[in-house]
Structure 1
Amino acid sequence: MKVHAERDRCIGAGLCTLHAPAVFDQEDDGMVVVLNERPTGTDADDARKVAEHLCPGKAVRITGG
């Protein structure tokens, strides 16, 4: 799997960093930054949860298996 973030869709809610801090961070302007594009284990599960259910701007997406 690979994690992508579309900064132009990000609204700066911070749910990604709250629920998957090993995968996501926020810039000073509040916009999402991907720290780990290819997480594994529970970090991958957390990133998938953010992408599928938690990101209000739908700025996070997962590609691949």
Structure 2
Amino acid sequence: MSRTVAIDIDACIGCEACAEEFPEVFSMGPADLPQVYNPEGVDEEKIEEIMDLCPANCIIWEDD
């Protein structure tokens, strides 16, 4: 089973850490909240790094 990175917008505090750290995956969208625009922009190991850095723990894996 594969998985895709996603953001729990309800939990997000808009700190922009994900977009600053990995702009090849995340960008800031409407209402200054991040969005995943390129889920394959970096490997899963790098995604795990930003998950650990996220102060709101709102970057998650969703099953495809």
TM-score scaled by length of structure 2: 0.76
> Is the Cα contact below 8 Å between 1:3 and 1:36 reproduced in 2?
no
**Alpha-carbon distance between aligned partners in 1 of 2:57 and 2:47, rounded to the nearest angstrom:** 12
User: How many equivalent pairs are there?
Assistant: 60
Corresponding residue of 2:49: 49
- Percentage of pairs with the same residue: 23
* Post-superposition offset of 1:24: 0.5
Structure 2: runs of 5 or more not aligned: none
TM-score scaled by length of structure 1: 0.75
Structure 1: runs of 5 or more not aligned: none
1:35 is matched with which residue: 26, 34, 37? 37
